[in-house]
Amino acid sequence: MKKFNAEDITEDGKKKFSIKKADTKVKDFYDSEKEYLEMLAELQDQLDDLQTRLYANSKYGILVIFQAMDAAGKDGTMKAVFKNVNPLGLKFYSFKRPSTKELNHDYLWRCFKELPERGTVQVFNRSYYEEVLVVKVHPEILHTQQRIPDELIAEDVWADRYEDIKNFEKYLSRNGIKVIKFFLNVSREEQSDRLIERIEDASKNWKFEDGDIKERDFWDDYMAAYEDMINATATKRNPWYVIPADDKKNMRLMVARILVENLKGLNLEYPESSEERRAQLEGMIGTIREQNKK
C-alpha cells in the first residue's frame, strides 16, 4: 500500500497549517481504474473488520467529522469509504441549518445528542465546527439567531469557542470516544465546475442550493476561517487531516487509509472466551444437534 500524506498539526504549533500552501490535488496513488478499485476494496474490507472488532469489544466509540466547502465530495466519500461496513455499528448524521429548538439551546447541544455509543462509528457531515466557520463568516448569527446576550460575547469570542471545542474533544477522548477530523480541501475552480455540473445534470439538480452561490462570495473569508480553526483546534490527540479534494478517487483512498490506521491504533482483538466458557459452548453443540432430530 502506498503511503498517503495528510497534514497533522501538532499541539505545540511547530507545524502550522497554511491553507495557501495546502494541496488541493496530488499525484494519483493508482495507475488505473482497476488498481484504484482494488486498493479501495482492500481498505473497505479492513475497515469492516476493524469496525466489527470495535463493536465486539464495546469499549471505544468513533466520531468521524467531515468539514468542507460545498461540493467538496463529502457525501460521495462517506458512501464509498464505508460501503462494506456493517450498518449495525455505523451511523450518519448531517447537520443542516439549526432548527428553532436547536437555537434555543447552547451550540453544542445538537451535537451532544448524536454522539456515538461505545462499539459504534458515528459520522458527522459538518459538525460543531460550523460555529467557528459559518458563524465566524457571518457573526450576526450570534445576535440574530443564537441570541447570545451581548454581555456574554467576549472580545474574542472565536478564541473562546476554539477553547470550548478543544475541551469538548478532550472530554470525549477521556471517555473512550476517538475523534477523527477531516477537512476536504477543494479548490475554488474545482468547486465551480462541480456546481455547474449540478445545474447542467438534471439528476443532480436536487443537490444545488441557491445559497451555494451566495457563499462563494465569501470564499476568502471561509479559507481564513478554516486556517484559523485548524491551527487552533488541532492537537496531538485530536489532529486535523487536510485532504486534497480535487480528485475524488485519491481523496477516498486517503480518507479510508487514515481511518484504517486510526482504528488499528486501538489494538482491538476479538474478545477471548475463558476455558470454562469454551467448554460450556462445546457442550451446547450436542444440544443443537439433538434439536435437529425433533
Residue 139 is assigned to a structural domain of this protein: yes
Query: Where do the H-state alpha helices sit in 17-97?
Result: 33-57, 74-81
13: left (phi over 0), alpha (psi -120 to 50) or beta: left
> What is the DSSP secondary-structure string of 75-105?
HHHHHHHTTTS-GGGEEEEE--SPPHHHHTS
Question: What pTM was estimated for this model as a whole?
Answer: 0.90
Residue 20 is assigned to a structural domain of this protein: no
- Range in 6-20, 37-51, 123-137 with the lowest mean pLDDT: 6-20
Whether residue 195 contacts residue 212, with contact meaning beta carbons closer than 8 Å, is answered with yes
Name the average pLDDT for the chain: 91
Residue 254: which CATH number? 3.40.50.300
Averaged pLDDT for residues 232-258? 94
Residue 25 is assigned to a structural domain of this protein: no
139 to 56, 143, 158: CA distances (angstroms): 44, 8, 10
Residue 207 is assigned to a structural domain of this protein: yes
pLDDT class for 284, splitting at 50, 70, 90?
Answer: confident
- Range in 6-10, 23-27, 28-32, 128-132 with the lowest mean pLDDT: 6-10
**Nearest Cα residue to 65 out of 150, 138, 149, 169:** 169
pLDDT class for 203, splitting at 50, 70, 90?
Answer: confident
- Range in 11-20, 75-84, 132-141, 249-258 with the lowest mean pLDDT: 11-20
Residue 7 is assigned to a structural domain of this protein: no
Q: How many helices (H) and strands (E) does the chain have?
A: 12, 5
The boundaries of the domain holding residue 208 are 33-293
3-class state of residue 269 by DSSP: coil
Domain count, the chain: 1
pLDDT at 190 over 50: yes
